[in-house]
Amino acid sequence: SQKIEQNSEALNIQEGKTATLTCNYTNYSPAYLQWYRQDPGRGPVFLLLIRENEKEKRKERLKVTFDTTLKQSLFHITASQPADSATYLCALEGTSGGYQKVTFGTGTKLQVIP
Protein backbone atom coordinates (compact mmCIF):
# COMPACT_ATOMS: atom_id res chain seq x y z
CA SER A 1 0.00 0.00 0.00
CA GLN A 2 1.07 3.61 -0.47
CA LYS A 3 2.79 5.14 2.50
CA ILE A 4 4.36 8.49 3.36
CA GLU A 5 6.66 8.54 6.38
CA GLN A 6 7.85 11.56 8.28
CA ASN A 7 9.66 11.40 11.57
CA SER A 8 6.91 11.59 14.15
CA GLU A 9 9.34 12.62 16.87
CA ALA A 10 9.89 16.34 17.28
CA LEU A 11 13.17 17.74 16.05
CA ASN A 12 14.89 20.14 18.44
CA ILE A 13 17.66 22.28 17.01
CA GLN A 14 19.77 25.18 18.18
CA GLU A 15 19.20 28.56 16.59
CA GLY A 16 21.57 29.20 13.70
CA LYS A 17 22.01 25.53 12.83
CA THR A 18 20.61 23.78 9.76
CA ALA A 19 17.45 21.78 10.33
CA THR A 20 16.95 18.73 8.10
CA LEU A 21 13.58 16.99 7.87
CA THR A 22 12.98 13.73 6.01
CA CYS A 23 10.07 12.46 3.95
CA ASN A 24 10.18 8.84 2.75
CA TYR A 25 7.56 7.21 0.61
CA THR A 26 6.68 3.77 -0.75
CA ASN A 27 4.54 2.65 -3.67
CA TYR A 28 4.32 6.14 -5.16
CA SER A 29 5.70 7.38 -8.44
CA PRO A 30 5.01 11.06 -7.91
CA ALA A 31 5.52 13.64 -10.60
CA TYR A 32 6.13 16.19 -7.84
CA LEU A 33 6.40 16.58 -4.11
CA GLN A 34 5.37 19.52 -1.94
CA TRP A 35 6.29 20.86 1.48
CA TYR A 36 3.93 22.80 3.73
CA ARG A 37 4.27 24.52 7.08
CA GLN A 38 1.59 24.39 9.76
CA ASP A 39 1.54 26.57 12.86
CA PRO A 40 -0.59 25.62 15.90
CA GLY A 41 -4.25 26.48 15.38
CA ARG A 42 -3.77 27.38 11.71
CA GLY A 43 -4.07 25.74 8.32
CA PRO A 44 -1.03 24.49 6.41
CA VAL A 45 0.77 26.96 4.17
CA PHE A 46 2.46 25.89 0.93
CA LEU A 47 6.23 26.40 0.87
CA LEU A 48 7.86 24.62 -2.04
CA LEU A 49 7.12 22.22 -4.87
CA ILE A 50 9.79 20.07 -6.53
CA ARG A 51 9.27 18.03 -9.69
CA GLU A 52 10.62 14.54 -10.31
CA ASN A 53 13.17 15.80 -12.81
CA GLU A 54 14.53 18.39 -10.35
CA LYS A 55 17.17 17.27 -7.88
CA GLU A 56 17.08 20.39 -5.76
CA LYS A 57 14.98 23.52 -5.23
CA ARG A 58 15.80 26.58 -3.16
CA LYS A 59 13.81 29.46 -1.74
CA GLU A 60 15.61 31.89 0.54
CA ARG A 61 16.80 29.78 3.54
CA LEU A 62 14.87 26.71 2.40
CA LYS A 63 16.23 23.88 0.29
CA VAL A 64 14.43 20.76 -0.85
CA THR A 65 15.95 17.70 -2.50
CA PHE A 66 14.07 14.91 -4.24
CA ASP A 67 15.65 11.51 -4.85
CA THR A 68 13.25 9.29 -6.79
CA THR A 69 15.66 6.34 -6.54
CA LEU A 70 15.81 6.47 -2.75
CA LYS A 71 12.14 7.57 -2.67
CA GLN A 72 13.04 10.36 -0.33
CA SER A 73 12.87 14.12 0.00
CA LEU A 74 14.96 16.18 2.39
CA PHE A 75 13.84 19.61 3.58
CA HIS A 76 16.55 21.90 4.92
CA ILE A 77 16.25 25.19 6.78
CA THR A 78 19.60 26.95 7.02
CA ALA A 79 20.43 29.47 9.75
CA SER A 80 17.32 28.37 11.61
CA GLN A 81 15.42 30.87 13.76
CA PRO A 82 12.90 30.42 16.58
CA ALA A 83 10.25 31.71 14.15
CA ASP A 84 10.86 28.58 12.04
CA SER A 85 9.35 26.47 14.83
CA ALA A 86 6.31 24.74 13.35
CA THR A 87 5.15 21.41 11.96
CA TYR A 88 6.33 20.66 8.42
CA LEU A 89 4.31 18.41 6.16
CA CYS A 90 5.34 16.77 2.94
CA ALA A 91 2.69 15.97 0.35
CA LEU A 92 2.81 13.58 -2.58
CA GLU A 93 0.76 13.24 -5.70
CA GLY A 94 -0.38 9.78 -6.72
CA THR A 95 -3.07 8.31 -8.94
CA SER A 96 -6.11 7.32 -6.95
CA GLY A 97 -9.71 6.90 -8.07
CA GLY A 98 -8.88 8.15 -11.54
CA TYR A 99 -7.35 11.47 -10.56
CA GLN A 100 -4.04 12.83 -9.28
CA LYS A 101 -4.62 12.86 -5.54
CA VAL A 102 -2.35 14.78 -3.17
CA THR A 103 -1.77 12.97 0.12
CA PHE A 104 -0.15 14.56 3.17
CA GLY A 105 2.33 13.00 5.55
CA THR A 106 1.70 13.32 9.27
CA GLY A 107 4.36 16.01 9.64
CA THR A 108 7.44 16.60 11.74
CA LYS A 109 7.41 19.18 14.52
CA LEU A 110 10.46 21.43 14.52
CA GLN A 111 11.47 23.38 17.60
CA VAL A 112 14.27 25.92 17.20
CA ILE A 113 15.82 26.74 20.55
CA PRO A 114 17.18 30.28 21.06
Partner 1 sequence: NAGVMQNPRHLVRRRGQEARLRCSPMKGHSHVYWYRQLPEEGLKFMVYLQKENIIDESGMPKERFSAEFPKEGPSILRIQQVVRGDSAAYFCASSPPNPKNIQYFGAGTRLSVL
Binding site for partner 1 (CB under 8 A): 32, 34, 41-46, 49, 89, 91, 93, 96-97, 99-107
In 3D, which of 105, 102, 95 has the Cα closest to residue 73?
105
- Nearest distance, CB of residue 16 and partner 1, angstroms: 28
Strand partners, 74: 22, 65
Closest to partner 1 by CB, 84 vs 105, is: 105
Long-range contacts, 43-52 (Cβ 8 Å, 24+): 44/89, 44/104, 47/88, 48/75
- Nearest distance, CB of residue 79 and partner 1, angstroms: 26
Closest to partner 1 by CB, 84 vs 93, is: 93
Chain centre to alpha carbon of residue 81:
18
- What are the φ/ψ torsions at residue 82 (nearest 5 degrees)? -55, -30
- Nearest distance, CB of residue 102 and partner 1, angstroms: 6
Closest to partner 1 by CB, 49 vs 74, is: 49
